[in-house]
Every structure is written in structure tokens, then in C-alpha cells.
Amino acid sequence: MPKEKKQKMKKKSHKIIKIILITFALVIALVAIIGFIFFRRVNAPLRANLNASEDAVATTTAGLVKGAIDDGIYVYLGMPYAEAKERFVRAEALEPWDGVREYTEYGAISLQSSFMGMGGTDNQDNNCQNLNLWTPELNDGGKRPVMVWLHGGGFSSGSANEASTNGKNLAKEEDVVVVTVNHRLGAAGYLNLSAFDEKYKDSANVGMWDVIDALTWIQDNIEYFGGDPDNVTIFGQSGGGAKVLTLMSTPYAKGLFHKGINQSGATETVGPKLTPEEVSLRITELTLEKLGITAENIEDIQSIAFEELNNAGTEAIAQVAEEFQYESPFGGSYSYEWEPVVEGDFLPTDPVLDEGFAETGYDIPLLIGSNLNEWNFMGRSSDVSEEVVTAFKEAYPNIDEENAGSVDSMIRVPLLRTTAHKADQGGAPVYSYIFTYGAPRCTHGAEIPYIFGNVDSTSADEAMEKTMRGIWAAFARTGIPQVDGIPTWEAYTRDGGATMIIGENSELVYNHDLKLLELLEPGFDY
């Protein structure tokens, strides 16, 4: 073959390869964009446009506060529950004030990097200890159930100021008090500096200390807002669900809440269940090394730009993931993320151990579950074997078999383990669910607008909204997730495996998907 022709063919071949690579890149970008749009839809910050009302003046232990009235619901936004005067140090109680302070605008969120549309553009500050509150009445002795939302985004991103978690409709339709909580995240919440100075003794878990301070504020103040301090339910999705498990494991949260709801919050999805102390200290060592900070100049950590701190922490975590060989759940590499640290008396044990569930959560009823297609929006759908399709049809006979290629096991398996361990304790009951409505689009976080009553769509969507909102409120009210229109919901046991499939036709099933999970996660143990 002439040399010139060979060169032309070579160029043509390179061109084809280039086109293929560009096409592949565009596909990947499209998947990322779809994921981004989803998270923006679910987690987009809500901009308040409320006018303060003299009729919405309420008492707190620190002073008088003024909120707004929105469609008959009293609303307080960005209301402080504590004050963080320094980084990596537990927040302090609020100083009392004179007069009336107005809270009708969302407050600061934690310092964080933007991820999938969460965080990024909002007002960010270390002093982010504020909450949002919606209630039907003030000072009426109503003793309403209190539902405290812990946002997702792992322990690294997100906020309480999201459109999908506006608590107005949930408060109005179910006669409950709704609270959403901002708290420190990422490096600001979990960089373990305890070895350097006594004042940093809480730094490894200062983000969770913030939540405890919020729950303490609720105990001291919620009666002024028509809520019952003896009936507080914490609930959260993804990282928020993992926060629920963490709070069920620390003795410092004992008595501050009475029920927990975990939506798709597996503590062991990335790396170990939570961060071992030796791993946290290694992350700190590497972070400070990259920043040029030693024991002699440790106070420089207070003034360094957060972006610089965050970048150093991100690099340190990546290095630790490789050193400890924490495999990414999405395959192809090692990964890790900021998480609470198992250390000292704050978190003496991991929430979910191989041999059991944290003892401090013994008397806390738990509602726990996940969505059928958790990661479908990220392109995890794939061709599957006939065997998997058959097992899927046996597990979900009323759902189209096309979902077999995107059914979640990454979150379902560790949550099944958590559920079984909680049931084995023999303490307060645990109730299991799988959300299937809208499959194959019941992805990570898809249930949130239904629970908060913020769906604006078809009549079928509104019916599902009523069901989901009602289940969550019923559990908050009584500890039993029972509403009209669904079968009698039995508590989960390891042998029985009772699980409510919440979908177009809700049904109670028993250990329905074990065969399917064994195919998707060979050798899984729960």
C-alpha cells in the first residue's frame, strides 16, 4: 500500500476515534447534566419572599422573635439555635437579646464546596447554626408532633434551605411542627484537631454537636411554637439518614428525640461505616501538612481561607482512600468522604456493627427504607442476565421488568443489614419500606417532595403525596407508620422480613428480594 494512502487511512482512523471519544464524552456529560438537574430540582435553595407579621411574634429562651404568616402557617427562617465563634469549636449558647428580632429570610449555610447543585452560591459561614420552623399555631398548648429534618449531601454538602423541604404544606396538612436544621459540614464539621489543643476536643464531630445543640434548643423552646418536646422525630435522606443513625448512637443525644426515620441513608456506602479514629487523624495530618500548619502555628487554622482548607482536605481524603484502599461504590477507583468519627465517649461505637445496633438507640422506633432506582439518573442502568430479570419479576411482579437493569442494591443491602440488626435488638420496633412510585424514575431523593407535600403535578402524584406525607406524620405521631389506603404495616423481623412497597399499588411483602440481592451482590451478608 502506498505510503500516502496509509497516512490518509491513519488520519481517517484517528478522526473516527476522535469522534467516538467526543461522543462518549458528550454522553458522560449528558448523564452528569441530568444528575445535576435532578439535584437542582430537589435541592435548589428556596428564596423566601415573606413579610414579617406582628401576629407572628413568639417567645424563645433568648428573646422575642418575629416571623411571617404564610397561608395560615407561622414561619420562622434562619432562626439561630447557637453561635459558633470559632472554627472547629463547639457552638455556644445564644446570648439573650432585648427587643424583637425578625427571622423571615434564610440564614447562612455551612462552609462547603458545591456538589451537584448543592451549596455553592448560598451565603456560607462557619456560624451557620440556624433553623427554619413552620407551625400551625403558637402558644396554644397543642402538643403537636415535631418533625426535625436533617438534609442530605453526605456530611459534606447541602443545606436546610431547599425548595423541596419547605415545611409549610406538611405542617398545614398534618398538624405538625416542622423544623429544618443547618449545621457545619465537611472539613468545617469533621476535621479532627483534638490532638493539638483542649479547645478542639470536639472538632472530630463538631458538625453533629451542632445538630445536638439544635435538638437541645427544640427541647427548650418548641412549646412556644405549639410543639411537644416529648414527641420529637428526626428524619433525613441520604446523608441525613446517616445522621439519624449517628444520633441514635451517641449518648449525648439521648432524650432529645423519640423516633427516627432513615431515607436511603447507609452509613457504609463509601468506605467503612463511619470514620475510625486512626483514619481521621491521618486525614488531619495530611491536611495540615498541605497547609503548612504544625502544632506550633495551629491557630493559623482559624484564619486560613476556607477554599484553601477545603482543597487541602479534599486532597488528603483522596490520599487516605488510596492508602486504606477504600473502594469507590461506583467502581474504578478509591474514594472516601467526610464523616463522623468513632471516638471517645461522643460516639463510642459505630451505629451499625456486624454483631448489633447501637445500644443507645434501643428504645427509638425506626422507619427505614430506600428507593427502587436510587442511582438510575447517574446512568447505572445496564444490561442484565435473564436470571436477574427473572428474580426481579418474582420480587416486583407489578413493576415493569425494564427496571431490573437499574434496581438499587448499593444502598438497599447496607440498609437491610441496619434494619435486621435493629430488629434483632428486641427493643423498639423497626419498619421497612421500598419506594417504587414512578419507576424507573424513583431515584435518590425522589420521595422528598411527596413527604413534604411539595408535588405540583398530576392527580396520581397528589394521591401519592397524601399517602407519603400521611405515613411520615403518622409515624411521628404514634411510632406506627399506618394510614388509610395501605395494608396493615407489620414491624420488621429478620425471619419475617416485612417490607412495605410504597407505589401505585402498595403492598406488604416478606423477604421478597433476597434472591435478587444475592445475584446483584454475590456473597452479601446481613
How confident is the model over 221-273, as pLDDT tens digits?
Answer: 999 999 999 999 999 999 999 999 999 999 999 999 999 999 999 876 544 57
What pLDDT is attached to residue 16? 40
Please enumerate in sequence order all residues whose Cβ is within 8 A of that of 26, keeping only pairs 6 or more positions apart, or say none: none
Is the pLDDT score of 201 beyond 60? yes
The candidate with the shortest Cα–Cα distance to 156, out of 283, 317, 337, 400, is 337
Pairwise CA distance, residues 276 & 280, whole Å: 6
Is the pLDDT score of 72 beyond 60? yes
Structural domain for 405, as ranges: 371-520
In a domain, 135, yes or no: yes
Q: Is 272 exposed, middle or buried (0-12, 13-18, 19+ CB in 10 A)?
A: middle
Pairwise CA distance, residues 100 & 97, whole Å: 8
State the helix-helix crossing angle for 306-323 and 277-291, rounded to 10 degrees.
130
Pairwise CA distance, residues 213 & 93, whole Å: 8
The domain spanning residue 55 has which CATH number? 3.40.50.1820
| Average of per-residue pLDDT across 391-411 | 93
Quote the strand ranges of 60-99, DSSP E. Answer: 64-70, 73-80
Q: Are residues 48 and 169 both part of a single domain?
A: yes
The candidate with the shortest Cα–Cα distance to 474, out of 150, 241, 233, 151, is 233
| Average of per-residue pLDDT across 416-420 | 93
Where a domain ends, among 212, 240, 273?
A: 273
Single-letter amino acid code for the residue at 511: N
What pLDDT is attached to residue 135? 98
Q: What percent of the chain has pLDDT over 70?
A: 86
Pairwise CA distance, residues 64 & 73, whole Å: 18
Q: Cell digits for 386? A: 435473564
In a domain, 431, yes or no: yes
Torsion of CA 348, 351, 355, 361, to 10 degrees: 90
Is the pLDDT score of 119 beyond 80? no
Confidence of residue 336 (pLDDT cuts 50, 70, 90): confident
In a domain, 98, yes or no: yes
DSSP state of 118: B
HSE, side-chain direction, 13 A CA sphere, residue 438: 22
Q: Cell digits for 198? A: 483542649
- The tens digit of pLDDT for each residue in 406-417 reads 999 989 999 999
In a domain, 3, yes or no: no
Q: Are residues 375 and 240 both part of a single domain?
A: no
What pLDDT is attached to residue 31? 34
What pLDDT is attached to residue 352? 80
Is the four-CA dihedral 86, 88, 92, 97 of positive or negative sign? positive
Buried residues in 247-265 as b, exposed as e (16+ CB within 10 A): bbbbebbeebbbbbbbbbb
Report the phi/psi class of residue 44: left, alpha or beta, with left for phi > 0 and alpha for psi in -120 to 50: beta
What pLDDT is attached to residue 269? 57
| Catalytic positions | 238
In a domain, 31, yes or no: no
| Average of per-residue pLDDT across 330-340 | 81
What pLDDT is attached to residue 32? 34
What pLDDT is attached to residue 330? 64
Where a domain ends, among 253, 273, 293?
A: 273
What pLDDT is attached to residue 328? 77
Q: Are residues 55 and 201 both part of a single domain?
A: yes
In a domain, 467, yes or no: yes
User: How many whole angstroms from its chain centre is CA 194?
Assistant: 26
Q: Which helix or strand (DSSP H or E) is residue 177 part of?
A: strand 177-181
Q: Are residues 235 and 377 both part of a single domain?
A: no
Q: Are residues 240 and 116 both part of a single domain?
A: yes
Is the pLDDT score of 447 beyond 70? yes
Is the pLDDT score of 380 beyond 60? no
Is the pLDDT score of 183 beyond 50? yes
**In this structure, are residues 188 and 111 in contact, taking their beta carbons and an 8 Å threshold?**
yes
Confidence of residue 83 (pLDDT cuts 50, 70, 90): very high
Please enumerate in sequence order all residues whose Cβ is within 8 A of that of 166, keeping only pairs 6 or more positions apart, or say none: 46, 134, 452, 454
State whether residue 334 is helix, strand or coil.
strand
Buried residues in 404-442 as b, exposed as e (16+ CB within 10 A): bbbbbbbbbbbbbbbbbbbbeeebbbbbbbbbbbbbbeb
- The tens digit of pLDDT for each residue in 5-64 reads 444 444 444 444 333 333 333 333 333 333 333 333 344 445 567 999 999 999 999 999
Residue 220: CB atoms within 10 A of its CB come to: 15
State whether residue 323 is helix, strand or coil.
helix
Q: Are residues 268 and 381 both part of a single domain?
A: no
Is the pLDDT score of 398 beyond 80? yes
Total number of domains constituting the chain:
2
Pairwise CA distance, residues 88 & 191, whole Å: 7
Least confident of 2-16, 153-167, 180-194, 330-344: 2-16
Q: Cell digits for 385? A: 442476565
In a domain, 13, yes or no: no
Q: What percent of the chain has pLDDT over 90?
A: 75
Pairwise CA distance, residues 143 & 31, whole Å: 46
Between 441 and 287, where is the model more confident? 287
Instruction: Output the average pLDDT for the chain.
Output: 87
Q: Are residues 250 and 128 both part of a single domain?
A: yes
Where a domain ends, among 227, 250, 273?
A: 273
Confidence of residue 435 (pLDDT cuts 50, 70, 90): very high
Q: Are residues 64 and 185 both part of a single domain?
A: yes
In a domain, 439, yes or no: yes
State whether residue 109 is helix, strand or coil.
strand
Pairwise CA distance, residues 239 & 444, whole Å: 11
Q: Are residues 50 and 168 both part of a single domain?
A: yes
Q: Are residues 53 and 165 both part of a single domain?
A: yes
Q: Which helix or strand (DSSP H or E) is residue 48 part of?
A: none
What pLDDT is attached to residue 349? 84
Q: Is the pTM of this model over 0.75?
A: yes
Torsion of CA 288, 290, 291, 297, to 10 degrees: 50
Q: Are residues 62 and 210 both part of a single domain?
A: yes
| Average of per-residue pLDDT across 191-210 | 97
